[in-house]
Amino acid sequence: MKPSRVTIRSYQVGFGDCFLFSVHYDNGDSRHVLIDFGSTGLPEGVPKTRLKAIAKDIQTVTGNKLTAVVATHRHKDHISGFATNEAGTASGDIIAKLQPDLVIQPWTEDPELEETATAPRARRGRKNLSSAARHVRTLWAMQQVAAQVWAEAKRSRSLRPEMRAMLGFLGENNVKNLSAVKNLMTMSKNKKKNKYVHAGTSSGLEKLLPGVNVDVLGPPTVEQHEEVGTQTSWDNDEFWVRLAAADRTSPPSGMSAKPLFPKHVVNREKYRFPVNARWFIYRAKRLRGEQMLRIVTMLDDALNNTSVILLFRVGGKSFLFPGDAQIENWEYALAQSNVRKLLKSVDVYKVGHHGSRNATPKTLWNLFEHRSADKHDAHRLTSLLSTMAGKHGREDNSSEVPRKTLVSKLERESTHFTTQNLAANDLCFQVTFDL
């Protein structure tokens, strides 16, 4: 049983990722790995039932059996498709029925790392977990913060529309998606079949995919690469925990907040504040918006950097799936000479983080030896991009996603496929690689 062909289906999920990586064998057998399934916004004209349609398509294509599921990190745009409903009819329910033999997630998702622990501590028999547990706790607190920011952005009447949209998007994307998280934890039925990986660990995929090598290049643990920890917390990982607890008085989204000192509130005439205070109030509101945006951007980056980076090598071709890993995650892998060597021969690159500025480090891009401006080069690099413009970042500070300069580089130096070229009724594009 030898691999003869690889196909990759890139589904149109708008802003999100959903890739079906299939290895076809010479005996007619096929094995399928679903890498991420989520969306935070669909392009115009795409029906709301898109995720369910994709789940059904996956069911058909895989013949009711998934070999493995990879959830690179817990952002909504990567896992919302795994959400379930009570009736058992949601896209996540359909995927669960495909009974994956293995579910791969980053080490930060390991339920053994007590996420709500009040003090970070190592579990018995496990070494060096305290910094890991602390990191996980910090990420947990960050998601609480995201929920608060989302709520505050929704109820605030004073934010500029574009600020509100950005806050809404980032806040929502970072809010914990409980049913999806739970489904990922339980869909493989056997707890032992859940793998929580970090750089250098085995993915557990080799046994299930004969003839395929899979390297886990990221995410690093806090011990492996301190920046992962410091990025979330600077030198104070208490900060996020405190921030999460800061706004306990804040009501559920949609309602206005309860003032601290109700008896001392100044009544407003026709919603107007006293004229002497207006200039400052305007500044304070603006500052608050920017501050919330910075906070959610930081926690967005931190979660992105928990992304699993997988490198599949099969029949002389290699396929790189880095999730939304950003530079802090990549730094560790790129510092290893053996990893750099492997990365040189990448043939297919799933573009990191929907084509954002800081997810395709120059040092990584420059390693790819199959980059070529020659369209007829048989060994030319292939790049796959799942994205939707106008959702994330802004052009005025070069943070737009996808970043224009990156896209033009991808178009120039690789055979580039993007979900943005799909019509509203196209479910996906499929690229085939003969081995």
Partner 1 sequence: MKNVLGTRHGLRTNRSLTIIAQDPSFQIDNKILRATIEVPAEELSPGPSGYRVSVIDYDATANVLYAPLELNSGLDENYPDPFADKSDQELLDNPGFHAQNAYAIVMRILARFELALGRRVAWGSSGHQLHVAPHAFAEPNAFYSREDRALFFGYFEGVLDGRKTSQTVFTSLAHDVVAHETTHALLDGLRQRYLEPSSPDQAAFHEGFADIAALLSVLSLDAIVRAVLDGKPDDRLIDARFLTPEALIDSSLMSLAKEMGQELSGIRGSALRQSLKLEPGHDYMNDEAFQEEHRRGEILVAAMLRSFLDIWVARLQRVGTISRGKKDRSLVVEEGAKAADHLLTMAIRAIDYCPPVDLTFSAYLSALLTVDREVVPDDRYGYREALLRNFASYGIAPSSSADVDGTWRRSDRDMVYSRTHFDSMLRDEEEMFRFVWENRRALELGEVGYIEVQSVRPSTRIAPDGFVLRETIAEYVQMLTLQAQELKDLGVDIPDGLDHWRNVTLFGGGTLVFDEYGQLKYQIANHLLNSEADIGRQSQRIAHLWESGFYADPAVAASRFAELHMARAMADRVSL
Distance (Å, whole) CA 203 – CA 197: 7
Amino acid at 324: D
Nearer to partner 1, 23 or 141 (CB): 141
Measured between its terminal Cα atoms, the distance across the chain in Å is: 14
**Closest approach of partner 1 to the CB of residue 237, in Å:** 9
Q: CA 328 to CA 73: how far, in whole Å? A: 15
Tokens coding 37? 């399934």
Query: Which of 48/263 has CB closer to partner 1?
Result: 263
Per the DSSP assignment, residues forming a β-bridge with 20 are 9, 34
Per-residue x/- track, 42-81, partner 1 (CB under 8 A): ----------------------------------------
Residue 297 CB, nearest approach to partner 1 (Å): 9
Cβ atoms 182, 85 nearer than 8 A: no
252 CB-side CA count, 13 A: 0
Tell me how far, at minimum, the Cβ of 329 lies from partner 1, in Å. Answer: 16
Confirm or reject binding of residue 409 to partner 1 (CB under 8 A).
Answer: no
As measured in angstroms, the least distance from the Cβ of 263 to partner 1 is: 9
What part of residues 305-324 is at the interface with partner 1 (CB under 8 A)? none
Footprint of partner 1 on 355-394 (CB under 8 A): 357
Q: Which of 1, 287, 335, 424 binds partner 1 (CB under 8 A)?
A: 287
226/369 with CB nearer partner 1: 226
Q: How many residues bind partner 1 (CB under 8 A)?
A: 46
Minimum distance of partner 1 from residue 233's CB (angstroms): 8
Contact call for residues 321 and 72 (beta carbons, < 8 A): yes
Handedness of CA 290, 291, 296, 301 (dihedral sign): positive
Cα separation, 12 vs 344, whole angstroms? 29
Interface pick for partner 1 out of 207, 283, 394, 404 (rule CB under 8 A) = 283
H or E stretch covering 228: helix 226-233
Rounded-to-integer distance, Cα 68 and Cα 193, Å: 10
Site string for partner 1, 149-168 (x = CB under 8 A): ---x---xxx----------
Q: Which is nearer to partner 1, 155 or 193 (CB)?
A: 155
Tell me which residue of 427, 421, 432, 411 sits closest to 4, measured CA to CA.
432
Tell the residue number behind the tokens 């994307």, with chain if given: 173
Of 64, 398, 408, 432, the one binding partner 1 by CB under 8 A: 398
Amino acid at 416: H
3-state secondary structure of 143: helix
* Site string (261-280) toward partner 1, x via CB under 8 A: x--xxx-x----xx-xx--x
What lies within 8 Å, CB to CB, of 28 at 6+ separation is none
Q: Which of residues 219-258 bind partner 1 (CB under 8 A)?
A: 234-236, 238-239, 242-243, 245-250, 256-258
SS3 390: coil
Q: Which of 5, 154, 176, 288 binds partner 1 (CB under 8 A)?
A: 288
Can you tell me which of 291, 366, 408, 421 binds partner 1, judged by CB under 8 A?
Answer: 291
The distance of closest approach from Cβ of residue 264 to partner 1 in the complex, given in angstroms and rounded to an integer, is 5
Q: What are the angstrom distances between the C-alpha of 20 and each of 7, 9, 108, 117, 118? A: 8, 5, 24, 36, 39
Nearer to partner 1, 212 or 299 (CB): 299
CB of 404 to partner 1, least distance (A): 12
For residue 73 the two structure tokens come to 């990190």
Residues that bind partner 1 (CB under 8 A): 152, 156-158, 234-236, 238-239, 242-243, 245-250, 256-261, 264-266, 268, 273-274, 276-277, 280-281, 283-285, 287-288, 291, 294-295, 298, 357, 397-399
